[in-house]
Structure 1
Amino acid sequence: MSFQGRITRAGGTKVKRALGVQAALEWAFRVEKAQLELPLPQDVTEEGFGFGLEYVLLQRAALGCKVDGGQHKIGGYTHEDAEVIAATVAGIPDSLGGKRMAIRVAELARAGLTPDWMPGAVPRCVPAEIKRNRHGDRALSIVVGTERVLVKGKWRSVEVRACPVTFSPDAQQIVAARRAYCDWWHALGWVREGLLAGSMLREIDLTGMLPKEAPWNL
């Protein structure tokens, strides 16, 4: 979904724009370049003493910053509604993933993406290792034993080889990807409810639209 320009006014009257929560998040973080201001840990003062490495990394990831500085919106203005949305995301409770989920929600919105729930994925049995050369791909095999066989009247020892296999993707990977999607979905639901309860959005009419809860069941 693409967003062009800023929410506009017509004839001096504010025109509310109807958006679902995912679209509103993408507008706030992708178009308006809203930044996530995460709350300080309880043992951290505002002067900056006691910052742990994990907290610093979380802050940099949230802001999309490199070590030598951040990214700033041209003109320096972020729409008030976008700031409200970002502040709500920053308040995602620990029961729904807390700061890490807030960062995840913001990153996905900034990129205009939905979590990869591995659509159509099923475990498939494949060779554990593949050898590639100019003739193509060949599954690698290993020696698992020896047998004596009669060849042209003579007994010979021959290797018994087998091809180790694995499942890719395995069932655990698929389950983990879909669990992560569900966690994101519940976080979006919380953000939506928080924005509606706060009633602070001036130019966005937040609709009840949410992404599909379990798209793999359709």
Structure 2
Amino acid sequence: MSVQGRIGHAGGAKIKRALGVQAALEWAFRVEQAQLELPPPKDVTEEGFGFGLEYVLLQRAMLGCKVDGGQHKMGSYTHPDAEVIAATVAGMPDRLGGIRMAIQVAELARAGMTPDWLPGVVPRCVPMETKQNQHGERATTVVVSTERVKTRGKWRTVEVLACPVTWRPHPEQIASARRGYEDWWQAIDWVRDGLIVGGMLREVEVTAAMPKMQPWLARSFPAL
């Protein structure tokens, strides 16, 4: 849960609104609808080159983000603090994912979401295929070998059947989702540090509050 409040300063200075970095990002992109001013690729030297709408939409599609549908405040006022936050996100270093991560952070904030780390999901061993008959759904079996058995005084060849199984969702899917969450966490942690150290926000003060780094490790304990 993001932390919000008001911070008072001695000497009659202006009171700032205190926000955790996730709340600050959502305020900038969701409420103020700030836009990312993305830098040009490093291998492009032509003056005046910038990222077109097609590039941003392509990046959003690769991230699985939904297009906003024209809800931006085109030509209207955007709070200067929101512009500073957006500019900070746009400067995401390559080691943290660069432009791709900047777009992901902005789009998740705009949607008021965090990356889906598949909470509560546990891999289950299930048949790879099933079939339906008069008795209901049954697992599909395959012949894996044959054996000679003696029944009623006669030797017979019988098929040995097995049910191919798999894990769903696969453990790697869960691990990948959680790595994605950790990458996002590292990115907004970098944004938080930059906003705090930069000191360029006029009416918003970013606090040290952060989402849980690995929420899947959190355990609930009974109240005493």
Match of residue 6 from structure 2: none
Identify the range of structure 1 (70-79 vs 140-149) with the bigger mean alpha-carbon deviation: 70-79
Aligned twin of 2:114: 114
* Distance in 2, Cα, partners of 1:159 & 1:89: 63
Aligned-residue identity in percent: 64
Q: Which is further off, 202-211 or 157-166? A: 157-166
Residue in structure 1 matched with residue 29 of structure 2 by the alignment: 29
Aligned residues: 205
Taking a change above 3 Å as real, the CA distance of residues 134 and 20 of structure 1, as seen in their structure-2 partners, is: farther
Q: Quick check: 1:64–1:70 contact (8 Å CA) kept in 2?
A: no
Of 25-34 and 125-134, the range deviating more from structure 2: 125-134
Contact 1:21/1:210 (CA < 8 Å) preserved in 2? Answer: yes
Is 1:140 matched up with 2:143? no
2:130 is the counterpart of 1:130: yes
TM (normalized to structure 1)? 0.78
> C-alpha distance in 2, partners of 1:210/1:134?
55
CA gap of 1:82–1:137, structure 2 versus 1, over 3 A, is: farther
Letter aligned with residue 192 of structure 2:
R
Aligned to 2:5: none
1:186 aligns with 2:220: no
In the alignment, what sits opposite 1:10? none
1:105 maps to a residue whose letter is: V
Task: Report if aligned partners of 1:146, 1:159 keep a CA contact under 8 Å in 2.
Answer: yes
User: Which structure 2 residue ranges, 5 or more long, are not aligned?
Assistant: 3-12, 219-224
Write the distance in 2 (CA, Å) between the matches of 1:61 and 1:123: 26
RMSD between aligned alpha carbons? 3.3
Question: What amino acid sits opposite 1:141 in the alignment?
Answer: T
- In structure 1, runs of 5+ residues without a counterpart are 3-12
Residue identity matched to 1:57: L
Aligned to 1:171: 171
Aligned to 1:91: 91
